[in-house]
Chains A and B, each alone.
Chain A
Amino acid sequence: MFGLNKKDTSLLLIVIVLTLFAPFILNPFPTGSGLAQFNAGYPDLMQRFAIFGIFAVGFNILFGLTGYLSFGHAAFLGVGSYSAVWMFKLLSMNVLPAIILSVIIAGLFALVIGYISLRRSGIYFSILTLAFAQMSFSLAYSVLTPITNGETGLQLTLDDPRVLGVTSTADGSIPVTNLFGIEMRSTYNLAVGPWDFQFNMGYYLCALVLIAAFYLSIRIFRSPFGMMLRAVKSNQQRMNYTGLNSKPYTLAAFVISGMYAGLAGGLMASMDPLAGAERMQWTASGEVVLMTILGGAGTLIGPVLGAGFIKYFENIFSKINDNILHSWFSFMPDGLEDFVVFLVHPFIGKGWHLTLGILFMLVVVFLPGGLVEGGQRIAGWVRGKKKPDAHQSETNPAE
């Protein structure tokens, strides 16, 4: 189906089911219950899962296939966001032109940076991309403030000269982002018993884009072009000796993954029309590297899992506070309750970084292939330890 083999088709179908039913899957606990804290099925976080999924899938096209480790990919995401917000300010609140522009601009940006950076390989390449991204961040934060609005981030205002559309609505507010009239923020709430499921238009747009992006990445992985990129990774020298110039291929991969990042940035701005400079900082670039490795570099689904994992911890664990802990453990005797809360306390709320750090280490120590390997092990265990998945051959982590 769709020009994919059976295995890839089933993978794509899994992704489609997971994304389309995410509002149910991510909301397993009834709203009033103590465990509702762990629900992730609210629009903002679901959008983030999809957007960072796209970002990581794109990053993986470069890193997973060619082995080139870019430490500056966040710059493309940032550039994409800025272009999208400028589109909202100047043209129209429709997200389509904004997203298209952000992909184009990010692609051009990637072309320039990639052209220069790809003259070096290995860690020299990583540092070149890092340097470009850090320069973009520093300048966006300070000197380029007229374009980027610096520290505060680029926001919509009540006096934007919007060519197609109104400057402000009849009741004096800023118009909202939409796709041909469908507001990105409109949400349909479905209450089933004690559960409350939220279906958000913005999320479904992100989900559809994610599915398309994922499909495209499968096609790239399986194409002759993808094969060529893999050859670059396994032995670039041998490839050059056969008379092939590998640079156009790696540059194409770099630009494609830059455009994915721009797409993610454009979507991010479409869900929430703000573009901040921090999006380009090296920590943001590092985050997508971590997502990809954590999920399983070089695998198709891994980056999406890694993105979900990190965003989940950032948004869910940081919100658990002592009060919530006390309510969870209130069934225990007083002294014991306090003791348990005392034990758990360093790992939640302001300690969410600590939990994340520990999990990074655990995953990489025990699951060398990332979360994907964990999934395969569980699957293997469920199937009664049958022979390892044939998929394995393609899931070797990148170097």
Chain B
Amino acid sequence: MSKTDVSRRGLLRTGAVTAGGLALPTIFTAQSASAFTNDPTGGTVTLGFNVPQTGAYADEGADELRAYQLAVEHLNGEGDGGMLNTFSSKALEGNGILGKKVEYVTGDTQTKSDAARASAKSMIEKDGAIMITGGSSSGVAVAVQGLCQEAGVIFMAGLTHSNDTTGKDKKANGFRHFFNAYMSAAALAPVLKNLYGSDRKAYHLTADYTWGWTQEESIKAATEALGWETVNTVKTPLAATDFSSYIAPVLNSGADVLVLNHYGGNMVNSLTNAVQFGLREKQVNGKNFEIVVPLYSRLMAKGAGENVKGIHGSTNWHWSLQDEGSKAFVRSFGTKYGFPPSQAAHTCYVQALLYADAVARGGSFNPCSVVEALEGFEFDGMGNGKTLYRAEDHQCFKDVLVVRGKENPTSEFDLLEVVEVTPREQVEYPVDHPMFAGGQLGSCNPGA
């Protein structure tokens, strides 16, 4: 018996691309066993969890993996069900997905686009994964999203905050639950205005790659709309570990707010260095000098220790939220692993459930059916209030949290406190917003 991965669709495409190309040998056009890539035919379905397991984001990746394992348990009807009990859609019955038991494979993205694609490809080609999910950086998310589009499987992005993921690099087969730089800016700006007033001079230090640029652009636009002045924006190399030579010029720049558009290790180091130079105690223009970290990660904030206290930023989700969904998730995660989940764990868990639910509602594993089920899907009970998966760009719209480094933490996990839950309406933007312009969603690709 033989089957082939080349479909009629693929052939049509080839025909269109090359006029007068070689005709394919007939064996390549033998029977097409299924209508889409990796159609699960047995009693199980395989999901691919592609997370960073080595490199700087390994701990975040490990937390994502824990969340996925929990999600698989819940989907298969083991454990306490977690958010399945609070999720507004009731299509999932705890018997796997469409009655097929959920199995998974794991891989290491190494936070490099090449390695991430290699790992995702092996999941698709070797293990028959029907969906790829995970990741902890925007570069990887965009690269893997592109791959999944070509291969004809669904990609459910993990932690990726760049505007580009659902902006100029959006793809029909890719979906992002995590928030983005624009939303961070829209949520933070009013809070910053209340706290620090509308007459401020901001100095930006920005990680010199696409994510950093989109965040700088977003924050700059939002704060300038408040009446803030942007004194300067300086790009810092990705490989920088000591930021002293970038912090020192801030001292005499006349700025009274420092915005650190850094993430992960960069953020820990730049914040630590900024505090070392006494910026937190400084007085400029008769006002207290302030530092803002627009994208917070609790796991990473831990590395900065005492330095995060009183510093504002935004986050997708935090374990101290008191809605039913969050409580249910924190309970099952905390009971299983002994510590509360991170925002990366939350977004990954939710993505896995949303995918399963979309399959169940659409009644098929066909990526096009999943895309249809997710587009414009509105749900609740997943920890961020009422949430919409917008059809035009596959971005989730939900409440965004503004948080602050806690002054008196009661435990090693208790680092951030929620200052404000910014409602969804305030962070929404039109599909054709200039910061997101340039790309096309294309059409869903079910592969061979």
Contacts and interface: CB of A to CB of B under 8 A. Distances in A.
Co-complex (A, B): yes
Interface of A: 39, 42-45, 48, 93-94, 138, 141-142, 145, 149-153, 155-159, 165-166, 168-176, 178, 180-183, 185-191, 198, 272, 274, 276, 278-279, 314-315, 318-319, 321, 323, 349-350, 352-353
A318 B238 CA distance: 26
Contacts of A39: 126
Contact of A181 (B18, B235, B442): B18
Interface in B100-131: 104-108, 112-115, 117-119, 121-123, 125-126
B53 A274 contact: no
B142 A155 contact: yes
A145 B5 contact: no
A178 B14 contact: yes
B18 A169 contact: no
Contacts of A149: 210
Contact of B62 (A185, A186, A323, A350): A350
A151 B210 CA distance: 6
Given A138-B239, A171-B443, A173-B13, A183 B114 contact: no
Contacts of B4: 186-189
B54 A159 contact: no
A371 to B, nearest CB: 22
Interface of B: 1-6, 9-10, 12-14, 16-18, 21-24, 27-28, 53-54, 58, 61-62, 104-108, 112-115, 117-119, 121-123, 125-126, 137-139, 142-143, 146-147, 149-150, 164, 169, 208-211, 235, 237-239, 439-440, 442-443, 445
A315 B398 CA distance: 37
Given A48-B118, A318-B107, A169 B209 contact: no
What 10 A-B pairs come out closest when comparing CB atoms? A181-B21, A350-B53, A172-B443, A151-B209, A44-B121, A318-B108, A42-B126, A276-B113, A151-B139, A142-B208
B209 to A, nearest CB: 4
B115 A152 contact: no
Given A171-B443, A176-B150, 5 more contacts: A150-B209, A151-B238, A153-B113, A165-B18, A173-B150
Nearest to A155: B146
A201 B249 CA distance: 56
B139 A352 contact: no
B124 to A, nearest CB: 8
Contacts of A142: 208-209, 235, 237-238
Given A39-B126, A152-B143, A152-B169, A279 B17 contact: no
Contact of A141 (B104, B147, B209): B209
30 contacts: A42-B126, A43-B121, A45-B118, A45-B122, A45-B126, A152-B138, A152-B210, A153-B139, A157-B440, A165-B18, A168-B442, A169-B17, A171-B443, A172-B443, A175-B13, A176-B10, A176-B14, A176-B150, A178-B17, A181-B17, A181-B24, A187-B125, A191-B1, A272-B121, A274-B143, A274-B146, A276-B139, A318-B107, A319-B108, A350-B53
A175 B209 contact: no
B339 to A, nearest CB: 18
Given A181-B14, A183-B6, A198-B125, A315 B119 contact: yes
Contacts of A188: 2, 4, 27-28
Contacts of A274: 113-114, 117, 143, 146-147
B89 to A, nearest CB: 28
A254 to B, nearest CB: 25
Nearest to B48: A319
Nearest to A271: B121
Contact of A186 (B3, B28, B235): B28
A341 to B, nearest CB: 15
Given A151-B138, A158-B440, A180 B21 contact: yes
B234 to A, nearest CB: 13
A152 B16 contact: no
Contact of A44 (B125, B209, B440): B125
